Structure formats: structure tokens, C-alpha cells
Amino acid sequence: MWHDLRLIGTSLGDYEGALVTVLIGHPDRPPERLGSARVRVVGGGLDLTFPQVLEWSLYKRKLVHIDANGSGACEPGEPMFSDSRAVKAALTLTLDTPTFRSQPATGPSCDAFQRDWLLAAASR
């Protein structure tokens, strides 16, 4: 019933050292399982595993933000990636393929992302 999520980022050399924030799930839908992480791009990539964070029957939101300017916060124009597929097995997502929808962050998307990051952190 629960499955792992592996998130791989490659070809991220332009963001070497940048802080990457990942949010899995919707914190306002308890008892949904959540996952979150903050890592830096090292060697042009990242590789994270979120054990048993996916419910096979749920369309699970997966958001990734790259703090391209080093401000420590989400700001309009910075890279954001999203996916919300439901899965029936462990899932591996790669940032540099069509798996993720990529679009620059906007003011409203940053506000929602930062709000949900704080909610996820508070629920741990």
C-alpha cells in the first residue's frame, strides 16, 4: 500500500551549491503522508529517497524549488518543478526529463509553496 519515491536531479550544474527544497503531498489533507527535504546541488545533481511516502490510490503532489539566487526563499522566476501522478509502485522522478512539469515560480506559487513547507515542517 505504501511505496518509495526517489527523486534524481541531473544536469543541474548551473545551480551548483544552490539549495533545493522538496515538498511531497498536501499538508492540509491529513492523514496523508508527507515528505520534505532541503539539499544542495552537488556535482551538478541530487539524489533523494523518500521511504514509503506514496499511497498508491492518491494523486500525490511533488514540488521542487531551486533557490537559484541564493536568497533562501522562493522568488518569482526561479525554477520550480511539479508532478502529481498517482502510482502503484515505487516511483523515480528525474528533473531533466518530461516527467516533471517545469515552469518558473510566480508570486502566488512561491507563497503557497512556502506556506505548505512551513505546514509540513510543523507536522513532523
pLDDT of 90 > 70? The answer is no
Q: Kindly report the backbone phi and psi dihedral angles of residue 122, in degrees, each rounded to the nearest multiple of 5, phi listed first.
A: -70, -25
Averaged pLDDT of the chain? 87
Close Cβ partners of 49 (under 8 Å, ≥ 6 residues apart): 4, 5, 6, 7
CB-based burial of residue 37 (10 Å sphere; 0-12 exposed, 13-18 middle, 19+ buried)? middle
Cα separation, 32 vs 30, in Å, equals 5
| pLDDT value at residue 15 | 93
pLDDT of 124 > 70? The answer is no
Q: Which residue has the higher pLDDT, 60 or 97?
A: 60
Query: Looking at residues 20-42, what average pLDDT do you find?
Result: 92
| pLDDT value at residue 89 | 67
Per CATH, domain 2-103 is 1.10.8: no
- Could you give the percent of the chain with pLDDT greater than 70? 92
Per-residue CA distances from 36 to 19, 45, 69, 72, 85 (Å): 13, 18, 21, 16, 17
Residue 38: pLDDT band (50, 70, 90) is: very high
Cα separation, 95 vs 62, in Å, equals 11
